Chains A and B, each alone.
Chain A
């Protein structure tokens, strides 16, 4: 079987791999290379070593904290949204697996914002935030904290429904006998949650935690549309900061690419930690 299948590779593998090389491999490798160059297009590169990387933090002998601010702001944003989204989604999922009337309708409503893209969502909320804040002569970009909580609300509204669906799937996968047995042993609902449901849900909790972590870390569309990084780049998350460096200032493409490499390493580390945790959990079960 192996041998007969093998010679069909031009049909089965070649189209995908050609697109994969164009759409991923070459841009990735070349992007890595360009982070060590000064360039404005892909053809006019000049090797500069680690200069782009040092320029992220020090410009003309002066310390530049823009990137560090963005890193800190992004981390805070990621942790806050991770907590809010998971706690609310889990609570809703618990309630919607109790068989109350209208469950399907509620599930439909909560999931809906997730299907609407980040750009469209953000303009919906921009109108609501700004018309509300206009009463106090403020806008969503009056301070970086208005922008911060605005983004938190938009992203929570979008992702709670998605995580809720995953939690519901997880809860429904818990064997009914296990819950019955605990009830017969006299466990109250608090104990049931603490000692049966949450331990059984650990794999789901890990998946959702890391999904929200990477989503938060990589957030771009909502940031661009809702705040545009205002006021004065104070609300720039990492992805927007990289975009801004790359396309906002000529001659800084190399620095933007170097920031992108650092960004990639951060995202990769989060993903690898997740992978370690999930595989360990699977072994335990």
Chain B
């Protein structure tokens, strides 16, 4: 009896020691990861800092605040500081040069409409091809799988020419291209989920007198909400950041998205106005960070769910 007790005590002591070790370990890890995280986002902080600097100082003194080291006295240092920084000048230049707000508008419009179309149309198609089993629906599914392994370079030339011929070179038209090119992955993900919805629920609705559209929108759409969020997030990340497709399909003299505007700041002979570039980069990143912080939970869950399936 006494022996078991002492063994138990021994075990408890062991656990306590290992817990203490664990927590000291974990304290060190916290410090380590704090430093690493700061380094991780340092490039973004440097860009933010440099976006307020005079053009000439971005490359002369990219990582510091003042052009004069503080060892030469505070007055000289602060004089260097005011020489280095120009306030919002770069932002004015950047907005004028890229017509930033219109680019932002086009990016937002194209992303929202494309993703809405993709979610609506692909969930419907996925439901249909799961519920109706015949050679045609099977072919559609196989074609969707196939389209997922085709790189964009394979279709870029013909796709952009056809888009021109069909007058799809506008912000409205490109959403149809995105629906077509994004359909594969989305239908694949929706089909995986629809298969898990029990038929009995739909049959019950049918007995109550619902027709298929009513069943789909009334019964299935609410159940599919997690997958809808996943697909919407994955496709938004793709469409918002996509450069090559819109640069080839859109009439870029009239319509530029943000990535196109950034790339076009580089002139044909390779020269870049780095002041304006820094400001544009900040303007491009800020909306993403706001969106990220607001929808972080869904974004992380969406990526997790997407990877488990894809």
Give the contacts of A98-148 with B (CB-CB under 8 A): 98-102, 105-120, 123-125, 127-128, 130-132, 134
Could you say which residues of chain B place their CB within 8 Å of the CB of A15?
121, 179
Q: Is the CB of B206 within 8 A of A4?
A: yes
Say yes or no: is B150 at the interface (Cβ < 8 Å to chain A).
yes
B-contact bits for A162-176, CB 8 A (1 contact / 0 none): 100110110000000
Partner of B37, one of A1, A6, A41, A105: A105
Our count of residue pairs bridging A and B at CB distance below 8 angstroms stands at 268
Q: Is the CB of A13 within 8 A of B202?
A: no
Say yes or no: is A239 at the interface (Cβ < 8 Å to chain B).
yes
Q: Is the CB of B59 within 8 A of A24?
A: no
Say yes or no: is B46 at the interface (Cβ < 8 Å to chain A).
yes
Say yes or no: is A264 at the interface (Cβ < 8 Å to chain B).
yes
B-contact bits for A14-26, CB 8 A (1 contact / 0 none): 0111011111111
Say yes or no: is B2 at the interface (Cβ < 8 Å to chain A).
no
Q: Is the CB of A19 within 8 A of B180?
A: yes
A-contact bits for B273-310, CB 8 A (1 contact / 0 none): 01001100100110011011000100110011001101
10 interchain residue pairs of minimum CB distance = A23-B180, A117-B241, A19-B180, A131-B62, A27-B155, A12-B128, A109-B37, A27-B159, A27-B158, A169-B304
Which residues of B does A touch, CB under 8 Å?
A: 26-27, 29-30, 33-34, 36-37, 40-41, 43-44, 46-47, 50, 58-59, 62-63, 117, 121-122, 124-125, 127-129, 131-133, 140, 143-144, 147-159, 161-162, 165-166, 168, 176-181, 183-184, 187, 199, 202-203, 206, 211-213, 216, 237, 240-244, 258-259, 262-263, 266, 270, 274, 277-278, 281, 284-285, 288-289, 291-292, 296, 299-300, 303-304, 307-308, 310
Given contacts A26-B162, A102-B33, 10 further A-B contacts (CB under 8 A): A1-B206, A5-B128, A13-B140, A17-B140, A19-B121, A30-B158, A115-B237, A117-B242, A128-B46, A228-B270
